[in-house]
Structure 1
Amino acid sequence: MRVLVIGDVVGSPGRKTLEEYLKKVGERYDFIVVNGENSAAGFGITAKIAEEFFEKKVDVITSGNHIWDKKEIYTYLENSDRLLRPVNYPEGVPGKGYTVVKSRKGVNVGVVSIQGRVFMPPIDCPFQVLGKVVEEMKKTCKIIIVDFHAEATSEKIALGKHFDGKISLLYGTHTHVQTADEKILLEGTGYISDVGMTGSDNGIIGMDNESVIPKFINCLPQRFEIAKGLERLNGIDVEIDEETGECTRIDRINLSLSQIEIM
């Protein structure tokens, strides 16, 4: 089964770039997962944007710490099986952290959105929570895909090694910077520390230079604005064996909008 994973979509430049890519090659994939927590002007996601993603054949939207930025999404989260918030938030918060969705081949695919704790809010332990979730999901599917929204590379590698052979794919999001360590771990789990960002490469992790740099100089709060121009799409193209759930191929995607337009 061929799976497409797209890194954090940032604002309208990211949505536009994703749309162009899916128009060109979306039909190649049996299953598509997109991290959409920054898709609404860089902070959060709206119900309208989520529905637009699903209309473009995105199967599941994962997220992270910014899922809560738009209060209107709380009700939508409660009623959606395909927009996920991190599973290791405490009990009682809106929404679901994992789901099982059929691929275009009719195969059950489990998707988990989970968040790290190093340099992040101190929520429930991702190692312990993911262990319980995987045990439950194994009852209905062999393919399990995990979006680990975390800051520290060491924490991402540790979670990947800990669940090697127990899940099909673990990839990192959150830093907006694509790493070059894509691999298949020893027991058959696909891994990359960060899939990167889909949005403008003309700023600082998707935000306009002039709104970000003063914060580093003055240490005062700033209102960040979305960067524009030099749009780029980051993600991974993955093959997973439907019988065993093992990853058999993982390739990085790193394309400019101009490259996509001439595909």
Structure 2
Amino acid sequence: MIRIVMVGDVVGDPGRRAFRSVIGQMKAQGMADFVVVNAENAAGGRGVSSALADQMFEQGADVITLGDHTWDQKDIGPYLQRSGRIVRPINLAPGCPGRGVVTVQAPFGPVTVVNLIGRVFMSPYDCPFRAMDAWLLSDPHPGGMVLVDFHAEATSEKIVMGRYLDGRVTAMAGTHTHVQTSDDRILPKGTAYITDMGMTGSRDSAIGRDLESITHRFLTGMSDSFKVAKRDVVLEGIRLEVDRVSGRAVSIERLRIPVADAAGDQQGE
């Protein structure tokens, strides 16, 4: 069996520290053969820079996925063009830098990772359903397994996408809300599914941000800078067991791993 770990949205420096600590141990202990991580909040909650992406690859990421904060860091466009292991949503407008699908030749065989972004309660992106159909029909992947990160707000949109892709991909994992759902399961046609993997960051927070500043915003309506929260840090995500021959998921389990030293002592985010 191949052990695949997919990690929910990494938020700021505490999330990056948690990722480094947990994934380093899992790989060293043979508990993870391949790691996909959503890093679109890694740079202080706003996108990921090229330097931070390189750092996360060095710390154990095999593929990085993104979302609605893709363009928040100024240097990310050229980086997306030259890196073969980071994906932005496939259903962004034509002409955007980078790619929405990558295939990595792992020691056990090829792994294809697809990044999608939803439209319900979000910006008017191209249709993610049609984007997946177009890719599956016109861009044959080289066997192996296909992992999908669907970065979307609405649970209904993610549930429907999971059923739409059931039997066509190895796994579909939701990201974006930062709240882990408890509906991890193998769908009827064999696809591993979870509505949202959750967040790698502070649980003593409002989806990774300092509670005091968020509360002030709700009480007053005033704009404020939302600092990254640093206490009670966890890594959340899923671990899959995948059949080496068929590329089908055999099992899926949620991960929620506390990380005692991830808060750090830095003032930055």
TM-score by length of 2: 0.93
Deviations 1:46-98 (A, max 9, x none): 11110011112211000100111111111111111111111100101111111
Tell me, in whole angstroms, the C-alpha distance in 2 between the residues paired with 1:245 and 1:135: 18
Query: Which residues of 2 match residues 100-179 of structure 1 at below 5 A?
Result: 100-105=103-108, 107-179=109-181
Q: Is the 8 A contact 1:31 1:104 kept in 2?
A: no
SS at match of 1:186: coil
Structure 2 CA distance, aligned partners of 1:134 and 1:160? 15
**Aligned AA for 2:125?**
I
Q: Which amino acid aligns with 1:24?
A: Q
Instruction: State the partner residue of 2:78.
Output: 75
- CA deviations 1:3-50 (Å, max 9, x no partner) are 011100000000111111022212322110000000001111011110
Alpha-carbon contact 1:151-1:174 (below 8 Å) kept: yes
Tell me which residue corresponds to 2:266.
none
Larger CA deviation: 177-186 vs 67-76: 67-76
Q: C-alpha displacement at 1:136, in angstroms?
A: 4.3
Q: Which amino acid aligns with 2:7?
A: I
Partner of residue 267, structure 2: none
What's the counterpart of residue 196 of structure 1? 198
Match in the other structure for 1:62: 65
Cα distance in structure 1, aligned partners of 2:146 and 2:129: 15
- Residue 212 (structure 1) shift: 1.1
Query: Within 2, Cα distance between the matches of 1:14 and 1:26?
Result: 18
Whole-Å separation in 1 of the counterparts to 2:202 and 2:261: 14
Partner of 1:207: 209
Per-residue deviation, 1:135: 3.0
Pair 1:47-2:50 in alignment: yes
Q: Deviations over 1:111-153 (max 9, x none)?
A: 0011000001111000000112223454412310000000000
Residue aligning to 1:241: 243
Unaligned stretches of 5+ residues in structure 2: 263-269
1:35 aligns with 2:60: no
Give the structure 2 partner of residue 180 of structure 1. 182
- SS of the equivalent of 1:239 reads strand
How many angstroms apart in 2 are the aligned matches of 1:129 and 1:44?
23
Structure-1 separation of matches of 2:245 and 2:256? 29
Once residues 222 and 246 of structure 2 are traced to their aligned partners in structure 1, the CA distance between those partners, rounded to angstroms, is 52
Cα pair 1:14 1:233 within 8 Å, conserved: yes
Number of equivalences: 259
Please say if residues 110 and 137 of structure 1, whose CA atoms lie closer than 8 Å, have aligned partners that are also in contact: no
Bigger mean CA offset, 177-186 vs 222-231: 222-231
Go from structure 1 to structure 2 and tell me whether the alpha carbon gap of 1:143 and 1:135 turns closer, same or farther (over 3 Å shift).
Answer: farther
**1:18-33 → structure 2 map (5 Å cutoff):** 18-27=19-28, 28=30, 29-33=32-36
1:85 alignment counterpart: 88
Q: Distance in 1 between matches of 2:255 and 2:261?
A: 12
Question: What stretches of structure 1 of length at least 5 have no aligned partner?
Answer: none
Q: Give, as a single letter, the amino acid of the residue that structure 2 aligns with 1:153.
A: T
Give the partner amino acid of 2:80. Answer: L
Q: Deviations over 1:207-259 (max 9, x none)?
A: 00122112222233221111011111101010111222211000000111139
State the secondary structure of the residue aligned to 1:25.
helix
| % identity of equivalent residues | 42
Counterpart CA distance in 1 for 2:118 and 2:91 is: 9
Look up the equivalent residue of 1:48 and give its one-letter code.
Answer: A
Whether the 8 Å contact between 1:4 and 1:32 is mirrored in structure 2 is yes
